[in-house]
Amino acid sequence: MEIAETNCSHKNHTQGDCIKSILPVKDALEVLSGKWKLPIIISLMFGNKRFSQIAKEIPGITDKMLSKELRDLEANCLVKRSVYDAIPVVVEYSLTDYGHTLKPVIEVLRVWGTTHRERIMGRVELAVQD
Amino acid sequence: MEIAETNCSHKNHTQGDCIKSILPVKDALEVLSGKWKLPIIISLMFGNKRFSQIAKEIPGITDKMLSKELRDLEANCLVKRSVYDAIPVVVEYSLTDYGHTLKPVIEVLRVWGTTHRERIMGRVELAVQD
DNA sequence: CAGTATCCGACTGGATACTG
DNA sequence: CAGTATCCAGTCGGATACTG
């Protein structure tokens, strides 16, 4: 079902229909929500990393937040945590195949966000309609 | 430039490159962030609406939040506010053409979110890789 | 009708210190 | 190395009341 066909106010659609079509979008946004999930996901898109490696690559993140967000992402099956029995212990994080399915989503957001930034910054002179 | 080509840790890419590729994604997410922007946008995708009409269609939203989010969306050129000189005053909100460009973005999020919800709910039995 | 003003609780995320 | 524990400030958003 397409968004455009899910009408909230027209004759033969209930508000329930509308809400149901919004819910999955919220689910998707939630996965990417917060200050750090996106940097972490993108960082892992380029290869498996260890905890401190990720921390180094994401300026400003604290151990606490990295730990918390990695746990969130793992709970959502987007990230895998592998413990290797060494001393001291080695933990490697990787995107699951499923995590990689986010790539087109992120790409769409990146493309839209790029033109949006240009527009808000006033660099695009196309008349803003009406 | 594709996300996949923007590497944070490899030889010929700087962290700056990586951050620059994340920024527009954050911009896009920010536009859709918060509890109510998405419902408002989707509501307006089906036609122009007046303030109280939107409020009626979005269960749970308060006047304060609706007012605030509409202002945000207007500042981002996604929503247009038209005042008609009547007594009492009539205000109509509509999505701009630009606002409608969000439709494919929302659609991608909706599709991904739908399968994600199924997966998290445990309805998909595809082995979660490794 | 179309909002604004005020108050307030809950949640997010930062700083710092500590642990197996 | 790979985290956890504690404390704390700022922000988000809800409830209620009020206005041109």
Model pLDDT for residues B97-129, shown as the tens digit of each residue: 999 999 999 999 999 999 999 988 775 555 444
Global confidence as pTM: 0.84
Assigned domain for A88 exists:
yes
Give contacts of B110 with chain A, Cβ < 8 Å: 3, 21, 24-25, 28
Spanning CA of B69 to C1' of C12, the rounded length in angstroms is 20
Assigned domain for B22 exists:
no
- Residue B121 confidence (pLDDT): 78
Assigned domain for B28 exists:
no
- C-alpha distances (whole Å) from A89 to each of A50, A73, A81, A84, B3 are 11, 21, 13, 6, 32
Confidence band for B2, pLDDT divided at 50, 70 and 90:
very low
More confident residue, B63 or A125: B63
Give chain B's length.
130
Answer yes or no: do B57 and A106 touch at CB < 8 A. Answer: no
Residue B30 has pLDDT above 70, yes or no: yes
Min Cα–Cα distance to chain B from A39, Å = 7
Residue A12 has pLDDT above 80, yes or no: no
B112 and A105 in contact (C-beta within 8 Å)? yes
Residue A118 has pLDDT above 50, yes or no: yes
Assigned domain for A107 exists:
yes
Task: Determine the average pLDDT of the residues in A118-122.
Answer: 83
Give chain A's length.
130
Classified as helix, coil or strand, B49 is strand
Assigned domain for A29 exists:
no
- Residue B110 confidence (pLDDT): 95
Min Cα–Cα distance to chain A from B88, Å = 24
- Residue A15 confidence (pLDDT): 53
Q: How many domains does chain A have?
A: 1
Residues 6+ apart with CB under 8 A from A25: B38, B106, B109, B110, B113
Which structural domain, as residue segments, surrounds residue B124?
Answer: 34-129
Task: Determine the average pLDDT of the residues in A45-50.
Answer: 96
What CATH number corresponds to the domain at position B119?
1.10.10.10
Confidence band for A124, pLDDT divided at 50, 70 and 90:
low
Assigned domain for A19 exists:
no
